[in-house]
Amino acid sequence: MFLIATMAFPGVVTMIPNFLLLRDLGLLNTFAALLLPTMANGYSIFLLKGFFDSLPKELFEAADIDGANEWQKFWMITMNLSKPILAVIALGAFNGAYANFMYAFILCQDKDMWTLTVWLYQLQQFSSQGVVFASLMVAAVPTLAVFVLCQKVIIQGIVVPTEK
């Protein structure tokens, strides 16, 4: 319930508690520190809950009849059907971690862990406008590439085959 309540507040409000939590877990200056808060937020949990509630109960009843245990039902039914929603969450997490300047600047004090937006900010201080615009165009390529990679899985979740 707490994670869903965080959707009511801007991300800046949760930045300090997230920083303290990641510091206590020893995850500062890691890629996990950038990805985990964007993957395990209220919006992702809200999406997953809605998706899991919409799964047909008949599939699980049929698996019970076939003798599947809970672990097999989770991996063979739930995880296979949830690939599209997990791809959407992964795309959102990547985009959130990739484009978030302030969070990356606070969590990653080591220059080797800075995201591209932090480097673009540094570049903006010392380069001409043309160089900054060209680097912004290059910076858009990874987001586009991740979307292209996730597109097939996302479209499979949208398009439901009607043949029997």
Q: What is the pLDDT of residue 27?
A: 92
What 3-state class would DSSP assign to 93?
helix
59 found inside a domain: yes
**Dihedral sign from CA coordinates of 117, 119, 120, 122:** positive
55 found inside a domain: yes
Give the chain's domain count. 1
For the stretch 12-23, pLDDT in tens is 888 888 899 999
Residue 13 CA to chain centroid, in angstroms?
A: 19
Residues 49/50/51/57 CA torsion (nearest 10 deg): 90
Question: What average pLDDT does the structure give for the chain?
Answer: 85
Domain span holding position 27: 2-158
For the stretch 30-88, pLDDT in tens is 988 888 888 888 888 888 988 899 888 999 999 999 999 999 999 999 998 888 888 88
19 found inside a domain: yes
What 3-state class would DSSP assign to 110?
coil
* C-alpha–C-alpha distance, residues 81 and 91, integer Å: 17
* pTM of this structure: 0.76
